[in-house]
Amino acid sequence: MRFLPIRVPFSPSLLGGEWPQTERLTELLGRNLRNSKHMDLQAALGANGAHTGMLDTPAGVAPIVGPRVATATLTVPTKATQRALTIREWPKSERPREKLLERGVQALSDAELLALLLGSGIKGRSAVDVARSLIADFGSLRELLSADRPRWRGKLGIGPARYATLMAAIELARRHFREPLRSSSALSAPDFTRRFLLAQLRDRPYEVFCALFLDNRHRLIAFEELFRGTIDGASVHPREVVRQALLHNAASVIIAHNHPSGVADPSQADEGVTRRVRQALALVDVRLLDHLIVGDGQCYSFSEHGLL
């Protein structure tokens, strides 16, 4: 309950008895506030020094008249406001961190997982409330995770520190998909390669051309983003692919790029780039193993379709 102090002029004639019967006035004011969104209380001094004014009560408008006005400060209740509970005040089984430890990460909602990364909420709102607002603002969790920095500016509860924490978590997830490629053959585990490239390229709003440089056992040496373009294309220079292959001492290469439209089918330009890169790499005895096009949740393989 929140209370509002009001300095009220009044006289014994309003109260119907001798001074000081403040209980009666307090009751009138309290009932008035409970039954009305606001209270209209105006007072003025007349020319003869008498006090005049009007009090809006549940029974109607009552005059305030008296030869001499006294004043008192009364505390009357305003509309009750509920304080939001902090996560520490939630039942233990409902707190995101405790729920994760007791029931596993899969038991948490998207907002609860995001709240754990945020760490805390803001005044009047828990971390889970902030997380729900962010997901709603971006439209989906996927849009949130793929948003660039300008889209994060001005978002509720997000400053440089929290933005950096979120970006670090996303990058850790991407690097997680890279690790299997370092210990096993990219050809013997093509699903790992696809998952890794999907994590890296699927949500880019512009076209990106990249390459995986492999050793003689087809294990990953390095992943490099070589060229960036626009929403519908990127300029690719085969000699730069060759230069990076020699720099990493690679025995073979897999090239890849994304289609921001989400459609993974190759264009004639894609086929032309593949031929030029393959021919350039062959001059230095480096083999092009595949060209993968990343769409929305799928990859198109030139090798699997007999285009290499």
Q: Give the pLDDT score at 118.
A: 92
Tokens of 112: 């609860």
pTM assigned to the model: 0.57
Q: DSSP strand E in the chain: where?
A: 3-10, 41-45, 51-57, 60-66, 70-77, 208-214, 220-228, 252-258, 287-294, 299-301
Tokens representing 182?
């370092």
Look at residue 140 and tell me if it is in a domain: yes
Domain membership of residue 166 (yes or no) is no
| Cis ω for the linkage preceding 160 (within 30 of 0) | no
Which one, of 267, 268, 257, lies nearest residue 212 by Cα?
257
Fill in the amino acid letter for 170.
I
For CA atoms 204, 209, 213, 218, the dihedral sign is positive
Q: Does the residue 170 lie in any domain?
A: no
- What was the pLDDT predicted at 31? 52
- Whether 152 and 240 map to the same domain: the answer is no
Residues 66 and 99 in one domain: no
306 within domain boundaries: no
Rounded CA separation 293/290 (Å): 10
Boundary-marking domain end, from 158, 190, 218: 158
Same structural domain, 198 and 277: yes
φ, ψ at 220 (rounded to 5°): -70, 125
Do residues 32 and 24 lie in contact, with contact meaning Cβ atoms separated by under 8 Å?
no
* Positions of E strands within 135-241: 208-214, 220-228
Of 128, 158, 188, which closes a domain? 158
Structural domain including 188 reads: 179-301
188 and 293 fall within a common domain: yes
> What total number of domains does the chain contain?
3
Buried b (16+ CB within 10 A) or exposed e, 91-125: eeeebbeebbeeeeeeebeebbebbbebeebeeeb
* One domain, residues 209 and 290: yes
Residues 191 and 256 in one domain: yes
Residue given tokens 């109260």 in the structure block = 15
Q: What is the pLDDT of residue 80?
A: 45
Q: Are residues 14 and 99 in the same domain?
A: no
Domain assignment of residue 16, yes or no: yes
Are residues 183 and 292 part of one domain?
A: yes
Whether residues 91 and 202 share a domain: the answer is no
Alpha carbon distance 201, 292 (integer Å): 11
Same domain, 100 and 139: yes
pLDDT tens over the chain, length 308 residues: 444 444 445 444 444 444 444 455 445 555 544 444 444 444 433 444 444 445 444 455 455 544 444 444 444 444 444 566 788 888 888 889 999 999 999 999 999 999 999 998 888 889 999 999 999 999 998 889 888 889 998 898 899 999 999 999 988 888 887 777 676 666 666 788 888 898 888 888 889 999 999 999 999 999 999 998 877 677 889 999 999 999 999 999 999 999 998 899 999 999 999 999 999 999 999 999 999 999 988 899 999 999 88
**127 and 188, same domain (yes or no):** no
Residue 132 lies in a domain: yes
Of 51, 77, 103, at which residue does a domain stop?
A: 77
Same domain as 288, residue 258: yes
